[in-house]
């Protein structure tokens, strides 16, 4: 999918060597992150400098490792069910109240979580 079509949900991993990978949402970014040897055998998680996602409410770019993610909500991205990034726990709780789902932190997102929304 061409990520430029939906710029408000783009996620990005930037490597220490200046290379980067861009995704059409947090779900695909996590799919890549959790399977980096499959998608980019020359890299590993230690090569990552930063991870960015677009925050749901104000569409600003935030640190993906510090974000809160709501999974299983009734909000969909262009590729279906999505992990919704939010800046604060309060924002994630408000989103969950309005749209259902479960709040996760970066390290809580696993292959099983991704499978649950495919």
List Cα–Cα distances, 48 to 107, 112, 116, 118, in angstroms. Answer: 15, 23, 26, 26
Q: List Cβ neighbours of 46 (8 Å cut-off, separation of 6 or more).
A: none
pLDDT at 115 over 50: yes
Task: Using a cut of 0.75, tell me whether the model's pTM lies above it.
Answer: yes
Residue 5 has pLDDT above 70, yes or no: no
- For the CA atoms of 86, 105, 109, 63, the dihedral, rounded to the nearest 10 degrees, stands at 60
| Spatial separation of the C-alpha atoms in residues 23 and 2, rounded to whole Å | 9
Taking 70 as the threshold, does the pLDDT of residue 56 lie above it?
A: yes
Query: What's residue 105's pLDDT?
Result: 98
Residue 1 pLDDT: 45
Confidence band for 10, pLDDT divided at 50, 70 and 90: confident
Q: Does position 78 have pLDDT exceeding 80, yes or no?
A: no
Q: How confident is the model at residue 104, as a pLDDT? A: 98
């Amino acid at each position: 999918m061409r990520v430029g079509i939906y710029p408000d949900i783009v996620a990005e991993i930037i490597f220490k060597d200046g290379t980067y990978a861009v995704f059409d949402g947090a779900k695909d970014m996590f799919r890549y992150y959790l399977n980096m040897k499959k998608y980019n055998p020359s890299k590993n998680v230690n090569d990552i400098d930063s991870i960015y996602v677009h925050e749901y409410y104000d569409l600003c770019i935030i640190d993906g490792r510090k974000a809160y993610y709501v999974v299983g909500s009734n909000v969909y991205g262009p590729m279906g069910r999505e992990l919704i990034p939010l800046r604060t726990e309060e924002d994630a709780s408000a989103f969950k109240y309005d749209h259902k789902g479960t709040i996760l932190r970066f390290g809580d997102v696993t292959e099983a979580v991704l499978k649950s929304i495919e």
